[in-house]
Amino acid sequence: RSVPSGVRPRIRMRNQSGGQHGDRPGRMHRVNSVKTEWLNASVPADQERAARLLQAGELVAVPTETVYGLAADATNPEAVARIFEAKRRPRNHPLIVHLAGADQLPRWAAHVPDWVHTVAERFWPGPLTLLLEKHPRVSPVITGGFLCI
């Protein structure tokens, strides 16, 4: 189904089992129930709804430059684990953590070199990826067990 212009989908995964489903003969896997709700990214009330869903541990589909991404509150390991479940993503493939600004880096990185703030302030928002040593309080669920984020 195509997405109407200006409308962004939101997918919510529930923990309840939706039964069994076989994708190949002899192979069964659990299927969770999914509720899809369409939110418009340009409508403030829908932005607030998406934020409340993320804070509640739900998953939200968001547009990126090329595809839709599946988002969760990165501070909630259970919500992050649902991304792996929904996408059938291998647990050792780390996820990206998106930050609103460089002031949030100390929450996620063990050490933030001075040059990082200069680069982040210059290029954010935008397609700049930083790879830093993760802060000890960052869940290994996010990093796929790696020491970087």
Q: Per residue in 18-54, pLDDT tens?
A: 433 334 444 444 545 667 888 888 899 999 999 999 9
Which alpha helices (DSSP H) does 2-129 contain, by range? 44-55, 77-87, 105-108, 114-123
Label residue 1 by pLDDT band (50, 70, 90).
very low
DSSP 8-state assignment for residue 134 = B
Residue-wise pLDDT for 81-127, tens only, equals: 999 999 999 999 999 998 888 999 999 999 999 999 999 989 988 88
CA gyration radius, the chain: 17
- Please tell me whether residue 53 adopts helix, strand or coil conformation: helix
Bridge partners, 148 (sequence order) = 133
Q: Is the whole-model pTM more than 0.75?
A: no
* Mean pLDDT, the chain, integer: 81
Are 40 and 28 spatial neighbours (Cβ–Cβ below 8 Å)?
no
